[in-house]
């Protein structure tokens, strides 16, 4: 069964249709790259999956569980939305780390707050917090920042900040990790270290959706690629095929602009 | 004589200090509520709050003090007719006035925190309350310390307005010696209390700003 299934999703801002009849599915352990020019709707799609935007139509199903049916207009409680959100993780273009917390604190904060809702929190407080800390250190080690645990975001380079953000998103064990142009705010010499981390996640079979402008990266790391233009999915298929042998004329035109980029 | 004056002034200054502390204790949290109201997505509440803020910021504090103190009596419901009534009338006027000033500082601070901080909290499953208190509050504090400290130092001096409703704060205590003993210097002498107090506050806020700048945005 597909890990994620999105069907007939629509979204408009005022009179502008940003997403038109978006349908796709993603298998567990696979990664999907979404490419397309700015304004094609790919970021809105990602934000809708993370409940930062509410689609006007369509459904989102994760692991067989219907998370959202836009046709059902009952207002979900905050608590339900929070629970559903946790199926997804999101890494932002601008990192959005919390500046007043150290790298490790950034990674631990959400887990610490969630732990307070556990019924056994009061009895096992010490152990639970110790586990969260161990996990935080483990994640930061995984992204190569074991020496930076106590640094504040402003003491880290952009690439390091983004790696903290990835560790922070992983801390809540999302089923699907989403990346919104994770390297677009970085200097070229810093993108490599972030891409390397994402690549290692793909090798560990993390289910991922990556909105990116790095075509070579999308081709090499993603299993599937979706090309979006003007709010619709123009082409989707296996990564190598879409990049090297695109079927649609619009895809070809878009990709030709990236040629010469290795 | 000097000792007598000093004792009287100290007495007066205690009242100044009490008014100052009570005003802060009331206005700092109340201002936060007012700022939430003036940012509310519920339009009527937002308009009401912004009108209230306009009234308190747009008219003299001295006048507000008179209105709050005298109007209940004029209406034959003198709610201030108890032993420390003057003090609480003054405190009420100060709290309302300063809450409105603080609310605008809070609002500016809250609105200047990037939307990405909310979104990062949301996708991490935090509640709105957690996002405010765990993510944004410390950033807010840091942003507002300079403007708030400015207002707080103004408040020290504004407490002297309370002597217009015969509250025996430090200036009142100094003035008394003009009538009773023909002495002018006790009134002038009160300036030292203000300077010492605002001086201490300036040092404190300087220290606080430094303390809070362990991170940068």
Instruction: Summarize pLDDT for B92-113 with one digit per residue, the tens.
Output: 999 999 999 999 999 999 999 9
At which residue do the structure tokens 């959400």 appear? A110
d(C-alpha A135, C-alpha A104), whole Å: 10
Is A78 in contact with B127 (Cβ distance < 8 A)?
yes
Give me the CATH code for the B2-215 domain, please.
Answer: 1.10.3720.10
> Looking at chain B, which residue has its C-alpha nearest residue A152?
B215
Q: Which residue of B has its CA nearest to A103?
A: B215
Binary contact (A99, B217; C-beta < 8 A):
yes
Across the strands, what pairs with A26?
A: A4
* Domain boundary assignment for chain B: 2-215
Q: pLDDT (tens digit, 9 = 90+) per residue, A99-138?
A: 999 999 999 999 999 999 888 998 899 999 999 999 999 9
Q: B215 to chain A, minimum CA–CA distance in Å?
A: 6
Chain A residues at the B interface, defined by Cβ less than 8 Å, are 50-52, 78, 82-83, 85-86, 88-90, 92, 94, 96-100, 109-110, 113-114, 152-154, 168-169, 172
Considering only CB atoms, A50 lies closest to which of B123, B126, B128, namely: B123
Q: How many helices (H) and strands (E) does chain A have?
A: 9, 10
Residue A93 has pLDDT above 60, yes or no: yes
Query: A160-201, pLDDT tens digit by residue?
Result: 999 999 999 999 999 999 999 999 999 888 899 999 999 999
* Cβ–Cβ gap A92/B120 under 8 Å: yes
Instruction: Give the model's pLDDT for residue B111.
Output: 93
The pTM of the full predicted model, rounded to 2 decimals, is 0.85
Size of interface A-B (CB pairs under 8 A): 62
Cβ of A153 and B215 within 8 Å? yes
Distance of CA A56 to the CA centre of its chain: 21
Judge: A100–B114 Cβ closer than 8 Å, yes or no.
no
Tokens of A11: 């979204």
Complex-level ipTM: 0.91
| B113 in reach of chain A (CB within 8 A) | no
Interface contact B125-A172, CB threshold 8 A: yes
User: What pLDDT was estimated at residue B196?
Assistant: 97
Angle between helices A158-170 and A125-142 (to 10 degrees): 140
């Amino acid at each position: 069964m597909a890990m994620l299934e999105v069907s007939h999703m629509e979204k408009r801002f005022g009179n502008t249709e940003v997403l038109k009849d978006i349908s796709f599915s993603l298998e567990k352990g696979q990664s999907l790259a979404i490419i397309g020019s700015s304004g094609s709707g790919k970021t809105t799609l990602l934000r809708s999956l993370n409940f930062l935007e509410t689609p006007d139509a369509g459904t989102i199903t994760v692991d067989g569980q219907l998370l959202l049916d836009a046709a059902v207009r009952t207002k979900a409680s905050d608590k339900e939305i929070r629970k559903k959100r946790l199926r997804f993780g999101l890494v932002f273009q601008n990192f959005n780390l919390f500046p007043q917390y150290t790298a490790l604190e950034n990674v631990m904060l959400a887990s610490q707050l969630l732990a307070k809702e556990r019924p056994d929190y009061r009895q096992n407080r010490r152990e639970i917090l110790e586990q969260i800390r161990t996990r935080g250190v483990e994640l930061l080690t995984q992204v190569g920042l074991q020496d930076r645990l106590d640094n504040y975001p402003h003491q880290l380079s952009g690439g390091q900040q983004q790696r903290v953000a990835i560790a922070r998103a992983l801390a809540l064990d999302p089923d699907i990790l989403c990346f919104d142009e994770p390297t677009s705010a970085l200097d070229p010499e810093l993108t490599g270290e972030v891409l390397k981390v994402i690549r290692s996640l793909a090798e560990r079979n993390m289910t991922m959706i990556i909105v990116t402008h790095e075509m070579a990266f999308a081709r090499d790391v993603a299993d599937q690629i979706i090309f979006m233009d003007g709010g619709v999915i123009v082409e989707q298929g296996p990564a190598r095929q879409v990049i090297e042998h695109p079927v649609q004329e619009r895809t070809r035109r878009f990709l030709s602009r990236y040629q010469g980029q290795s | 004589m000097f000792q007598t004056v000093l004792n009287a002034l100290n007495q007066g200054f205690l009242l100044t200090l009490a008014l100052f502390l009570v005003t802060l204790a009331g206005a700092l949290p109340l201002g936060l509520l007012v700022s939430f109201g003036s940012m509310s997505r519920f339009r009527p509440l937002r308009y009401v709050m912004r009108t209230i803020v306009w009234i308190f910021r747009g008219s003299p504090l001295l006048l507000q003090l008179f209105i709050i103190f005298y109007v209940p009596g004029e209406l034959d419901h003198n709610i201030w007719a108890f032993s420390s009534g003057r003090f609480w009338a003054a405190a009420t006027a100060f709290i309302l006035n300063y809450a409105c000033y603080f609310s605008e500082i809070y609002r500016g601070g809250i609105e200047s925190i990037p939307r990405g901080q909310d979104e990062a909290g949301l996708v991490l499953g935090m509640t709105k309350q957690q996002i405010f208190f765990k993510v944004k509050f410390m950033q807010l504090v840091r942003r507002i310390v300079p403007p708030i400290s400015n207002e707080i130092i103004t408040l020290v001096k504004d407490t002297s307005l309370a002597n217009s409703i015969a509250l025996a704060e430090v200036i009142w205590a100094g003035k008394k010696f003009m009538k009773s003993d023909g002495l002018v210097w006790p009134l002038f002498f009160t300036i030292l209390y203000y300077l010492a107090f605002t001086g201490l506050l300036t040092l404190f806020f300087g220290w606080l700003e430094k303390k809070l700048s362990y991170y940068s945005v």
